[in-house]
Amino acid sequence: MQEENFETIAIRLQAERTQYKEHSVPLYLTSSYKFDDAEDMRALFANEKEGNVYSRYANPNTTELIDKMVALEGAEAGWATASGMAAIFTTFGSFLKSGDHVLSSRSVFGSTHQLLNNVFSKWGITYTYADLDKLDQWENGIQPNTKMIFVETPSNPGIDIIDLEWLGQLAKKHDIMLVVDNCFATPYLQQPIKLGADISIHSATKFIDGQGRTLGGIILGSDVLIKEIEGFARHSGPSMSPFNAWILSKSLETLAVRMDRHCENALKVAEFLESHASINKVMYPFLPSHPQYDIAKKQMKQGGGIVTLVINGGVEAASRFMNNLKMFSISANLGDTRSIATHPATSTHSKLSEEERLEVGIEQGTIRLSIGLEHINDIIADIKQALS
């Protein structure tokens, strides 16, 4: 049979039906599973046969979600966690030991910064930050003890991009693991493992749920690497709940159509903002003015749902704009059906110093817009009236 397409996998890859022959997969709220007999229990615990033992390890709902994500992203195996941060923590915890070094993009999610700066540094793991648009910093940043390269592309909130094929080759040449936080793109727009990454991580909280209901994280990679993840996660317990997995697996059924519309709306917003006099700068991967437009076109199917702008007039102008918005929600979340405005300098990135913020391209006038699925005319009308 010919390889199935993204939409078909996202809808048709389902857990086996029960004796009730349900069309939609049921929710398996069970913490544990029964064994047929003492020998069955022994064999399952000895990993001599496949089967569910305990929901900290696996559950039919999390297994279905993982199987889908694995197929959608072209990985071999995966693991589900309670949140995106749990996925990042689990990945670092599984592969890094005291004395190791991480080369990370400077512009990473605020909590990822906190993990590197304040948690793993206590455990003897060092790090260096490099800018996505300065390739020499990546070549020169590699040390003899560099174990992992970690990147977010497109980055949050600066929308910087790095060529994943290039970075994958660099990592391979030095025998370093490449980990990509693929949250902004989702498997529909970008598939890092096919481009050379070893591990791809998602905060499923964002576009994968897409409706602002639940937290979740996914780690994808080879069988060998996910075995390591499993060894760490089984015993440290960052597991995703069956209920969240059930929601997220259903959400994947509509990911393609939702992302098409998020991207279509976001591109229109980016084009509108670029033509507006009060706006200093607009960052969107599929705007020809984006410095890495050619790379974005090469490795992403579309530009994604996030548009970042810098408004003239600093923090006062940014606050005025946010307060003038009538429909947009002011929230720190993103990837929702509802359009959202965030002021990173005073929220998601407030823990960084002003200097660190400028290094990752966050100015006082920077605003991140997560473009939702409302009608495009209403989205643009709200931005227009808030700017005037």
Ligand X SMILES: *Cc1c(COP(=O)(O)O)cnc(C)c1O
Least separation in angstroms between residue 131's CB and ligand X is 17
156 binds ligand X (CB under 6 A): yes
71 close to 8: Cβ distance less than 8 angstroms:
no
Chain centroid offset of residue 183 CA: 2
352 close to 113: Cβ distance less than 8 angstroms:
yes
Tell me which DSSP letter residue 313 carries: T
Task: Please select the residue that binds ligand X; options are 55, 59, 83, 105, rule is CB under 6 A.
Answer: 83
The 116-155 contact track toward ligand X, x by CB under 6 A, reads ------------------------------------x---
Least separation in angstroms between residue 229's CB and ligand X is 16
Nearer to ligand X, 15 or 131 (CB): 131
Nearer to ligand X, 84 or 285 (CB): 84
Least separation in angstroms between residue 331's CB and ligand X is 12
Stretch that binds ligand X, among 22-30, 115-123, 203-211, 254-262 (CB under 6 A): 203-211
Nearer to ligand X, 215 or 266 (CB): 215
- Tokens 């209920």: give the residue: 243
Stretch that binds ligand X, among 7-15, 198-206, 244-252, 267-275 (CB under 6 A): 198-206
> Cis omega before residue 157 (within 30°)?
yes
SS3 135: helix
Stretch that binds ligand X, among 8-16, 79-87, 355-363, 372-380 (CB under 6 A): 79-87
Least separation in angstroms between residue 90's CB and ligand X is 11
**Measured between alpha carbons, how far is 263 from 184 in angstroms, rounded to an integer?**
11
Region 214-243 residues binding ligand X, contact defined as CB under 6 A: 215, 217
Residue 256 has, within 13 A of its CA and on its CB side, a CA count of 9
Stretch that binds ligand X, among 78-86, 227-235, 271-279, 367-375 (CB under 6 A): 78-86
CA torsion 138→140→144→150, rounded to 10°? -10
Q: How far is CA 252 from CA 55, 88, 295, in A?
A: 22, 21, 26
Strands of 279-283's sheet, edge to edge?
279-283, 306-311, 366-370, 340-342, 329-330
Region 93-112 residues binding ligand X, contact defined as CB under 6 A: 109
Least separation in angstroms between residue 328's CB and ligand X is 18
Q: What backbone torsions phi and psi does residue 362 show, to the nearest 5 degrees?
A: -100, 115
- Tokens 């010919």: give the residue: 2
- Tokens 């279905």: give the residue: 64
Least separation in angstroms between residue 83's CB and ligand X is 3
Task: Please select the residue that binds ligand X; options are 206, 258, 262, 343, rule is CB under 6 A.
Answer: 206
Sequence letter at residue 386: A
In the bound state, the residue with its beta carbon closest to ligand X is: 84
Q: What backbone torsions phi and psi does residue 230 show, to the nearest 5 degrees?
A: -60, -45
Nearer to ligand X, 44 or 73 (CB): 73
Region 158-187 residues binding ligand X, contact defined as CB under 6 A: 181, 183-184
Nearer to ligand X, 93 or 217 (CB): 217
Question: What single string gives the DSSP state of each residue in 338-380?
Answer: S-EEE-GGGTTTTTS-HHHHHHTT--TTEEEEE--SS-HHHHH
Nearer to ligand X, 205 or 241 (CB): 205
321 binds ligand X (CB under 6 A): no
b/e 152-172 (16+ beta carbons within 10 angstroms → b):
bbbbbbbbbbbbbbebbebbe
Nearer to ligand X, 160 or 181 (CB): 181
Stretch that binds ligand X, among 186-194, 199-207, 280-288, 305-313 (CB under 6 A): 199-207
| Interface contacts to ligand X, rule CB under 6 A | 83-85, 109, 152, 156, 181, 183-184, 203, 205-206, 215, 217
